[in-house]
Amino acid sequence: MALRGRSGTLRSEPVKPTGSRSRPGSSVTPKAKRAPVVIVGAGRLGGALALALQAKRWPVRVYSRDDSGRERTRALGLKPATPADLKKARVCVLCVPDAAVPSVSEALSRELPRTVALVHTAGALPLSALGTQRGRAVGSFHPLCAVSSARDSLAGHTAAISTRSPALRAVLQRMAEDVGFAMFDVPEAHRAAYHAGAVLSAGGLVALADAAVGALGAAGIDPEAALKALLPLMRSALRGIEARGLSGGLTGPIVRGDAGVVAAHLSALPPDIAPLYAQLSRRALQLASERLRPEPRTALEALLAKK
Question: What residues of the chain score a pLDDT lower than 50?
Answer: 1-9, 11-29
pLDDT at 189: 92
pLDDT at 307: 75
pLDDT at 22: 34
Closest CA to 252 of 294, 288, 216, 293: 288
What are the pLDDT digits (tens) for 176-192? 999 999 999 999 999 99
HEC sequence for 229-281: HHHHHHHHHHHHHHHHHHHHCCCCHHHHCCHHHHHHHHHHCCCCCHHHHHHHH
pLDDT at 29: 45
pLDDT at 28: 39
Q: Which long-range contacts (CB under 8 A, 24 or more apart) does 126-133 make?
A: 126/188, 126/191, 127/162, 127/163, 127/164, 127/188, 129/101, 129/102, 129/105, 130/101, 130/102, 130/105, 131/102, 131/105, 131/106, 133/8, 133/105, 133/109
| Residue 41 buriedness (CB in 10 A; 0-12 / 13-18 / 19+) | buried
What are the pLDDT digits (tens) for 19-39? 333 333 333 345 678 899 999
What are the pLDDT digits (tens) for 277-292? 999 999 999 999 999 9
Closest CA to 9 of 112, 161, 162, 111: 112
Provide the CA 72 distance to its chain's centre, in angstroms.
Answer: 24
